Amino acid sequence: MKQATALAALALAAGAAAQQSAYGQCGGINWTGATSCVSGYTCVYSNDYYSQCVPGTAATTTKTTTTKTTTTSKTTTTSTKTSTTKTSTTKTTATSSTKTTTKATTTSAATTTPIGGGGGSGGCTVTAYASISSAVKSCTLITLSNISAPPSSTIDLQKLQTSATVVFAGLTTFGVTANNDFDPIVVSGNGILITGAAGHTIDGGGPNYWDGQGSNGGGAKPDHFFVVKKTTNARITNLNIKNWPVHCFSMTGNEGLTVSGLNLDNSAGDAPNSKSSGKAAAHNSDGFDISSSDYVTLSNINVHNQDDCVAVTSGTHITVTGLYCYGGHGLSIGSIGGKSNNTVDTVLFENSQVVNSENACRIKTNSGTTGTVKNVTYKGITMSGITDYGIDVQQDYLNGGPTGSPTNGVTISGVSFIDVTGTVSSSAYNYYILCGSGSCSGFTFSGTSITGGKTSCNYGSCP
């Protein structure tokens, strides 16, 4: 019943009229939905993969602003500039036939300022961490502006009102908290929207923790940065996140979750530091870890990290489309087995790129455990600069690493590789499949061609 409700809600959203709702997506590569916005909102370009409906006028602040507006059409161009002070600047550029760009920097002397437009209890702009909880209780439109969270202080968005919107604006930072169990951001709710204003950044302070070991040892550090749990029909859009300590998104217990237009940049963790013994300073820096969640869609997202771009460990009806994955371990199922939920059913990875990474397409299960992986499709995946495996299926993981001896307790069936193409290094494997006895079935390859390396398959024949 819950799944049917989620599907119905998603179908209604997909069939909405020609205008997109407030803070919804309205453009970008591969976008096929509405490209105009409801009254009072403008379609604003964020990156090549994402444009968003944002308020058409700048939010009111307690300080004076300077506004510059340029409007272009096919026949006329007008420009208006009003200058009052240098304390705050809002810049908007709109082009009728292509895209719109908005860059805004606003500050407020007040801690919580009503801004309106939230419906019901209205909206609030929060500029001090201590006022977040009261805004969550009283507001349905919350702007978190330049929040600096003290040490051991979570940005707690677990009690948001139904259909509430939270907008991250300016720079969000966190005090150093050397605790493996500390979660800097936690989100829950029904019908909620978490999004970002133009020019915002959420900085996880990774360099304070990175030691080349991630969650495998070294100093204590927040293991999960952005936790999304127990949501129903929620949306997360247009966030810019960088320098997360270990895993970025942990998503568990969600239904009907849509995530789009994100930029996850952990590139600063590629370089060694004084604590990493010559290795990349960041480690175990998964982009998205998805578990026990149904009807989840990730779309049009850039990830630069040092581990799995996406890892699905349990859940059903999960779609990953339009991702650009750089520097990590690719698009993964697993590890499966030995957990409270060991079922993965109906997962689609499509139209995505994996670049300069260890693996591209990977399914891994844990040795001596039980579980089910079925109906998995990799379609339209391109790869380059792969150092270990192009396509990798292994049933021999123990304590986080392969043993070379597969077991058959976790069954893998109905796996399709369609138009998966690209190159790997000469020391890597184009295809590597290591299955237990009779535990793999229904693997198909169509239009798949990976070159440059070697092949090892103990299941049927690889292309």
**Helix (H/G/I), strand (E/B), else coil: 5:** helix
Selecting among 200, 247, 317, 329, the annotated active-site residue is 329
Q: How far apart, in whole angstroms, are the C-alpha atoms of residue 436 and residue 237?
A: 40
Closest among 316, 336, 348, 463 to 410, alpha carbons compared: 336
CA 301 from chain centre, in angstroms, equals 6
Angle of CA points 362, 235, 207, to nearest 5°: 60
Q: Which residues pair with 203 in a beta bridge?
A: 242
Contact 395, 368 (CB under 8 A): no
Q: How far apart, in whole angstroms, are the C-alpha atoms of residue 167 and residue 239?
A: 9
Residue 197's φ and ψ, nearest 5 degrees, are -75, 160
Closest among 255, 152, 248, 260 to 204, alpha carbons compared: 248
Q: How far apart, in whole angstroms, are the C-alpha atoms of residue 230 and residue 163?
A: 14
Contact 30, 300 (CB under 8 A): yes
Contact 424, 431 (CB under 8 A): no
Element at 322 (helix H, strand E): strand 315-326
Contact 245, 253 (CB under 8 A): no
Closest among 193, 322, 318 to 255, alpha carbons compared: 318
**DSSP structure class, residue 387:** S
Q: Known catalytic residue: 329?
A: yes
Strands 165-169 and 141-145: parallel
Tokens of residue 407, six digits: 């077991």
**DSSP structure class, residue 13:** H
Closest among 361, 385, 406 to 453, alpha carbons compared: 385
Active site positions, annotated: 329
